[in-house]
Amino acid sequence: MSPFEVSLNLATGIQVTPDVALSSLFNNHESDRLTRIRLRNQALNDASEILKIHCGSAWQLAGMLEKAVTRFDAIIWPRFKLGINSELGPVDEKLLRAFLCGEKIPTSQRWFYDTLLKR
């Protein structure tokens, strides 16, 4: 686990043991930016797994994920940045994790389809 992953886990309420936190400081890790991109993509993929039960195809799923990200970015993320915390649903929890990574969040259906869903 990288130092960034430790911070992200703590920010989202996931407990981290002191041993894991200490070892993350002394181990060699990949680039911080690459870690953030990997974690962002994993969080977006986790959100798509939750949305999958409502879709018939990968293209529809990419469209639902695009709408969820757009809604989160317009409504929930500004509130979160102001310190107005509210109860989040499972998809929004994953999107919060993606937004907390600090990397640009893609918003196109094509990107979600090509990058996350077409494997």
Give the ranges where the chain is alpha helix by DSSP (H). Answer: 3-11, 18-26, 32-51, 58-71, 77-81, 90-100, 109-111
Quick: pLDDT tens for 66-113: 999 999 999 999 998 888 888 999 999 999 999 988 889 999 999 999
Quick: pLDDT tens for 4-18: 788 788 888 888 887
CB 71 within 8 A of CB 54: no
**What pLDDT was estimated at residue 29?**
57
Has this prediction a pTM greater than 0.85? no
**What pLDDT was estimated at residue 30?**
59
Domain boundaries, the chain: 1-30, 36-117
